[in-house]
Amino acid sequence: MSDRPTILITGAAQRIGLHCARRFVADGYRVLITCRQPRPEWQQQPLEGIEVLVADFATIEGIERLIDTLVERDIRLRALIHNASVWLNDEGEADALQAMFMVHMQAPYLMNLASDRLFDPQVTGDIIHISDHVAQRGSARHIAYSASKAGLEAISLGFAARLAPRIKVNSIAPALIMFNDGDSEEYRERALAKSALGFEPGPEVVYQSIRYLMDNPYVTGTCLDLNGGRNLK
Ligand SMILES: NC(=O)C1=CN([C@@H]2O[C@H](COP(=O)(O)OP(=O)(O)OC[C@H]3O[C@@H](n4cnc5c(N)ncnc54)[C@H](OP(=O)(O)O)[C@@H]3O)[C@@H](O)[C@H]2O)C=CC1
Ligand SMILES: Nc1nc2c(c(=O)[nH]1)N=C([C@H](O)[C@@H](O)CO)CN2
């Protein structure tokens, strides 16, 4: 049984989640991540200090299977980071809203409802939801995505009221953090021009925000803007 505080980050096999997982390991935490498919490269280059749990939030059964695994193994969390996400625009499949509802709302909702079985009752815990700047403003190109993230923020507020003072519950609302490999130069320039600071910060700013929320004992029920001054333009 590890005596290091345990962090669970959902959907952390890549990008922001994996960066934060590695930073938590470096800072001395026991780290669990979820993914739908372990990466082949992990055969040759295992994720040092990170335990991988396979979980797909597309179905309630998949979410409940993860919860059951955590409970059966008596894993007691210091923090739960709801990072998993699928970023779909409105031009695709008819079930896009349903798919994002499952990942952005159903999974955090059911996992948070199980928090009495997932968190160490002796330690003040944290639940942090990774939302998006567009949740409170809408997005003409990602209507369903932004709506599902707005629902996530409402879930965060409800659990903040319900779980205090044992567990602090907050959201982080990033704007551009890191581009995807296929993003064109034109797209990148357009995205960078949307914020006052105008640069791609990279995932460390999300880790800094998570640690601020975890390390500050007097913050719950908030949503931390992380948008480079996008609201100023
Ligand atoms: N990147 C950015 O600039 C911004 C990101 N955000 C938010 O920050 C968070 C991290 O972003 P980023 O790293 O780009 O995220 P990704 O787009 O890389 O997705 C994160 C992970 O979500 C997991 N996921 C997707 N669908 C499911 C599912 N059905 N069940 C379980 N897991 C699933 C995937 O895991 P796997 O593939 O292993 O199954 C994926 O690796 C997200 O919540 C995102 O919305 C907000 C604003 C800007
Ligand atoms: N799950 C994801 N959500 C978001 C992503 C992403 O790559 N995966 N990317 C963005 C964009 O960076 C946007 O903020 C600016 O182009 C938003 N959400």
Query: pLDDT digit string (tens) for 20-68?
Result: 999 999 999 999 999 999 999 999 999 999 999 999 999 999 999 999 9
- 193-220, pLDDT tens digit by residue? 999 999 999 999 999 999 999 999 999 9
210 touches 232 (CB < 8 A): no
The pair of three-digit structure tokens given for residue 97, joined into one six-digit string: 């809203």
**Contacts of residue 214, Cβ cutoff 8 Å, sequence gap at least 6:** 78, 79, 126, 128
Question: What is the tens place of the pLDDT at every residue in 139-180?
Answer: 999 999 999 999 999 999 999 999 999 999 999 999 999 999
Q: What is the pLDDT of residues 99-144, one digit of tens each?
A: 999 999 999 999 999 999 999 888 899 999 999 999 999 999 999 9
**Which atom of ligand 1 sits closest to the CA of residue 178?**
3
Tokens of 153: 């923020």
Reported ipTM: the value is 0.99
pTM over 0.95: yes
Neighbours of 8 (CB within 10 A): 25
Tell me yes or no: is domain 6-232 CATH 3.40.50.720.
yes
Comparing CA positions, the residue from 38, 224, 34, 13 lying closest to residue 133 is 224
As given in the structure block, the two tokens for residue 200 are: 């791609």
pLDDT digits (tens, 9 = 90+) for 65-89: 999 999 999 999 999 999 999 999 9
Say yes or no to pLDDT of 181 above 70: yes
- What the block records as the tokens of 118 is 């997932």
Helix (H, G, I), strand (E, B) or coil at 59: coil
Report the run of H or E that residue 232 belongs to, with start and end: none
Cβ atoms within 10 Å of 196's Cβ, excluding its own: 11
> Which are the catalytic amino acids?
145
153 lines ligand 2 (CB under 6 A): no
- Expressed in angstroms and rounded, the spacing between residue 22 Cα and the centre of ligand 2 is 21
Phi, psi of 102 (to 5 degrees): -65, -45
Each domain of the chain, given as residue ranges in start order, spans: 6-232
Give residue 121's pLDDT. 87
Token pair belonging to 91:
């031009």
